[in-house]
């Protein structure tokens, strides 16, 4: 699956639903780049703190963590938010 996603530049992956396994976020970044990895908590199925810990504990620069936790989703949703008048 990762190789199929890697070949489709307009596809991102969400990291919700995975067990908080060490290295899973880094693997996504290594295969696709931080700009294509989006945080997901999988709530209420999993502990929010353990899912957040996957990103905060990842061996990645702070800028990439910010991309994963906020920037990527904000960029994805910007056209919809603008259309709805939620942002200027």
Please tell me the pTM assigned to this model. 0.84
Residue 7's pLDDT is what? 87
> Both tokens of residue 18?
């995975």
Q: Where are the domains of the chain?
A: 2-83
65 CB-side CA count, 13 A: 12
Angstrom distance (rounded) from CA 67 to CA 56: 12
- pLDDT, tens digit, for every residue of 43-56? 777 778 888 889 99
């Amino acid at each position: 699956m990762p190789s199929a996603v890697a070949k489709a530049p307009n596809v991102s992956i969400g990291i919700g639903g995975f067990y908080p396994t060490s290295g899973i976020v880094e693997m996504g970044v290594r295969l696709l780049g931080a700009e294509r990895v989006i945080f997901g908590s999988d709530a209420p199925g999993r502990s929010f703190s353990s899912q957040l810990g996957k990103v905060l504990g990842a061996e990645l620069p702070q800028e990439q963590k910010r991309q994963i936790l906020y920037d990527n989703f904000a960029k994805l949703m910007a056209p919809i938010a603008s259309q709805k008048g939620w942002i200027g």
